[in-house]
């Protein structure tokens, strides 16, 4: 996927946190520590530093959800992490994103923290972020 494709898909998936534009994706993809797992209908972008990795974003086309794509992306991401000698993975997820939270829990992630009022919604509301972690 090109940065433009990634930005278009991200915009179809997110309101809050705000979707990233093509320039943001291009910037991420030029960093040596950033890597991506792709599917024709989705992607997972992550950053690896030493023995830890962070899921930066996970997006699946809304028309293709509930087909196991996100679970496959996460499984492939975990395999990539093991090849990179990653022992711990973490992420932030909007506290009101029940579907994503359930997906991460099913895949072995536990809540380890809370970032109050972390995300901005376009209507001005502030949304907490859950910090989740998985040990590989």
Catalytic residue among 26, 63, 76, 104: 104
135 phi-psi bin (left φ>0, alpha ψ -120 to 50, beta other):
beta
Given 54, 92, 109, 119, which residue is catalytic?
A: 92
Give me the phi and psi of 102, to 5 degrees please. -65, -40
- Annotation marks residue 104 as catalytic: yes
Active site residues: 92, 104
């Amino acid at each position: 996927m090109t940065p433009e494709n990634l930005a278009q898909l991200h915009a179809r998936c997110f309101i809050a946190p705000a979707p990233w534009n093509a320039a943001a994706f291009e910037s991420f993809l030029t960093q040596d520590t950033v890597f991506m797992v792709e599917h024709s209908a989705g992607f997972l972008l992550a950053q690896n530093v030493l023995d830890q990795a962070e899921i930066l974003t996970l997006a699946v086309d809304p028309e293709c959800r509930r087909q196991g794509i996100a679970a496959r992306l996460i499984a492939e991401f975990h395999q990539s992490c093991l090849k990179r000698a990653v022992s711990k993975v973490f992420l932030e997820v909007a506290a009101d994103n029940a579907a994503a939270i359930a997906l991460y829990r099913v895949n072995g992630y536990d809540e380890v923290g809370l970032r109050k009022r972390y995300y901005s919604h376009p209507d001005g509301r502030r949304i907490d972020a859950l910090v989740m972690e998985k040990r590989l």
